[in-house]
Amino acid sequence: MKHIPIIQVPIEEAELALFEERRKIYPRAQSGWFSSRRWILVLFTQILFYGTAWLNWNGRQAVLFDLVARKFYIFGLVLWPQDFIYLAVLLVISALSLFLFTAIAGRVFCGYACPQTVYTEIFLWIERLVEGERNARVKLDAAPLSVRKFSLKFVKHFLWIILALWTGFTFVGYFTPIHELAIEVGNFTLGPWETFWFLFYAFATYGNAGWMREQVCKYMCPYARFQSAMFDKDTLIVTYDSERGDPRGSRNKKVDFKAQGLGSCVDCGICVQVCPTGIDIRNGLQYECIACGACIDGCDQVMDKMGYDRGLIRYTTEHALVKKLDDKAMWKRVFRARTLIYGSLLGLIILLAAASLAMHLPLKVDVMRDRGMPKITEMGAIENVYRLQVMNTRELPRRYSIEVAGVPGAVILNNTAIDLSAATTKAFPIRVRVPANVLPAGSNRLRFVIKDIDAPEVNVTEKAVFLVPR
């Protein structure tokens, strides 16, 4: 038997950390071109989210996903289960947009529009408001518990919880009419499912934006893991220009740093302090980077103070950096074949979806023949019974005419005109009689034509089978 030597490994060396202890991050507040764009997007998305739920349209909530009635209201549009193709199209559009924006500018969605980033930014704003700027927060956390520390923490968590509850309430308000929901909350008569989702969403907001923060982006979000597959050397990424910045070191503003053998980086650490994920972008692109641009703003301000050119940290591409491309050449490559294909596909799908929605008929009909045997009258005429499921997707009551075509002499014995209330669906029994000896025995084709009496251009033709006994 072959002898396998046993290597004695010291215990300390054999230990492998499977869990990295969290180091709390205290991002410094940052202003600047990118930071203000981020805040504009935060405001825009939040006004949209909290405000849209309260808008009214045609005497009902403008945007309501009524799961019980299986109807989705989006302003003038009413979508029924049959329209779920639009939901699939929406998912395709979202996926293609993500591919497109990632191919152009990496994780910009994460940095500017992802709900996790947006809520973390708002919760951080509250934290700063209550506990102060970065240094004050670090000091407060390190200090022993005191009345002041307890009060500040209490106020912060109280504000966080109020915001989280309001967010949970708004979320549920898109599925249950929000005015009714407000009354139910006020009277403590909320149903079990509404209570569950209200508290679940509030808890998720509080936990993710207040406590977990960058941990969600680092360890829970799958997008961070597969995004690199969508990057290439012409994707815009936040980059530290090491050729220009290194060797780093502090210096006096007045001395010639080049003569001292230094690069442009003054090693102030501002770029690390402002980073919401706590990374040092000078170590190269890391998967934790959400492309928020805070380090660009921070560094640009340092460069301004030192009297150096801006852009030591900037959005650029690997090709532009290596090949020293100017902005024009870089942008030309950013809009390469891949992004043009994604963009064209996206544009085409959006156009088709918009055209389909514009031509969307506010009338749907489903025909089913009664399973019973056809009836033969004394005169030899044959009668078949059908069930017409008619759906009026308009938010107005409509009157429809029903005709049969395709069989000579076929007549409807009942219900040649039907009434439907606004946005409803109803089944109507229809008896069709065909004179004797007109059709051969067996299955014969026939058509139902259903027409909106006041708007004849709204009409549907449905095929059916007329059975003649042998």
Q: For residues 176 and 239, which CB has a smaller minimum distance to ligand SF4 in the complex?
A: 239
- Interface mask toward ligand SF4 for 223-252; x: CB under 6 A: ---------------x-x----x-------
CB of 111 to ligand SF4, least distance (A): 6
Which range touches ligand SF4 (CB under 6 A), out of 273-281, 388-396, 406-414, 424-432? 273-281
Closest CA to 288 of 276, 270, 300: 276
**Binding-site member from 100, 164, 212, 271 for ligand SF4 (CB under 6 A):** 271
Which range touches ligand SF4 (CB under 6 A), out of 51-59, 61-69, 202-210, 275-283? 275-283
DSSP 329: H
Q: How far apart are the first and last CA of the chain?
A: 87
**Whole-number Å distance between alpha carbons of 72 and 70:** 7
**Binding-site member from 130, 275, 321, 460 for ligand SF4 (CB under 6 A):** 275
**290 lies in the site for ligand SF4, by CB under 6 A:** yes
Altogether, the residues listed in the chain come to a count of: 470
Query: Which residues between 300 and 359 bind ligand SF4 (CB under 6 A)?
Result: 302, 312-313
CB of 32 to ligand SF4, least distance (A): 11
Write out the H or E segment, with its range, that includes residue 222: helix 222-226
**Binding-site member from 96, 122, 270, 432 for ligand SF4 (CB under 6 A):** 270
Tokens of 199: 């508290």
CB of 259 to ligand SF4, least distance (A): 19
* DSSP β-ladder status, 71-74 and 63-66: antiparallel
Q: For residues 314 and 369, which CB has a smaller minimum distance to ligand SF4 in the complex?
A: 314
**Binding-site member from 89, 98, 221, 268 for ligand SF4 (CB under 6 A):** 268
Asked if 315 and 237 count as a contact pair (C-beta separation under 8 A), the reply is yes
**Binding-site member from 42, 96, 230, 294 for ligand SF4 (CB under 6 A):** 294
Neighbours of 81 (CB within 10 A): 8
Distances 223 to 80, 116, 293, 346 between C-alpha atoms, Å: 31, 13, 19, 20
For 420, the 3-state DSSP assignment is: strand
**Binding-site member from 117, 167, 235, 277 for ligand SF4 (CB under 6 A):** 277
Closest CA to 238 of 310, 192, 289, 167: 289
Which range touches ligand SF4 (CB under 6 A), out of 290-298, 381-389, 445-453, 461-469? 290-298
Query: What angle is formed at CA 395 by the lines to CA 390 and CA 398, rounded to 5 degrees?
Result: 50
Query: Which residues between 114 and 133 bind ligand SF4 (CB under 6 A)?
Result: none
Asked if 411 and 432 count as a contact pair (C-beta separation under 8 A), the reply is yes
Binding site residues, ligand SF4, CB under 6 A: 238, 240, 245, 265-271, 274-277, 279, 281-282, 289-295, 298-299, 302, 312-313
